[in-house]
Amino acid sequence: MLVVKQISKNFGSFQALDNVSFEMNTGDIVGLLGKKTTLMRILTSFITASSGTVTIDGDDITKHSLTIRQKIGYLPEKPPLYGDMTVQYYLKFAAEIKGVPKNKRQFQLAKVLEECDLEQVKQKTIATLSKGYKQRVGIAQAIIHEPKLLILDEPTSGLDPMQIQQVLALIKNQRDQRTVLLSTHTLTEIEQIAQRVLMIKSGRIVLDDPLEQLLKNKDASQSQPLTLEQVFINHHQPQTPVEEALQVSDE
């Protein structure tokens, strides 16, 4: 469904991505760890790669960018919400600008209101909602056009524990309908819903393994299964001051 082949991205003399390759199949939920901003901007057509190819559902992202954007649902870390709109009006607006056919908009609106548990707040202005509900509205706008690939950047940031579980359950339920790439710094969230883990360090993929396999590995010093936190630490040792300074622009 998503095929990334030998993607590199240079900003002047700084190489943000270096020969990154991976694939995702329909129904996958993949957790993305590390410095990933440049990669996510390329996948969502905000910037182009210096070299390499990205194919989504058979379409090359550089040749068919408008078609690609219709196949992607994207929730940035700060959801693109308009606080003075009601939830219902905003989602109608989102459906229109995302190209949902006019005769299907009401159906899609009803579907995401139910799926994201927003029916009870649909007449409220977005500014009055809790952060948890705002995140649900953000996910609703990302899926209202039935994308094949859903890209989520820190979708539970700032939520309380109950809200986190509700949003994670919503994301997990997307598995039957679409492919999900989830970026988060909260490793326990990836352990709960992801099937696979991708880790980027210094612009390269340093880890691409099924979650179950990673957690079955043993800690050599304790002969116990590793946690994802230990896996992350093992693959993400502190950089030198020079390396860290070079990476700041990609955080």
Number of compact structural domains in the chain: 1
Q: Which two tokens stand for residue 45?
A: 């057509």
State the residue range of the domain holding 160: 2-79+149-250
Q: Give pLDDT tens digits for 122-154.
A: 999 999 999 999 999 999 999 999 999 999 999
Residue 42 Cα distances to 52, 69, 161, angstroms: 11, 12, 31
Whether 139 is in a domain gets the answer no
Percent of the chain topping pLDDT 90: 67
Chain segment 207-247, per-residue pLDDT in tens: 999 988 887 765 555 556 566 777 667 765 555 444 445 44
Residue 144 domain-assigned?
A: no
**Domain-located, residue 123:** no
Question: Is the whole-model pTM more than 0.75?
Answer: yes
209 phi/psi in degrees, rounded to 5: -145, 155
Q: Is 97 contained in some domain?
A: no
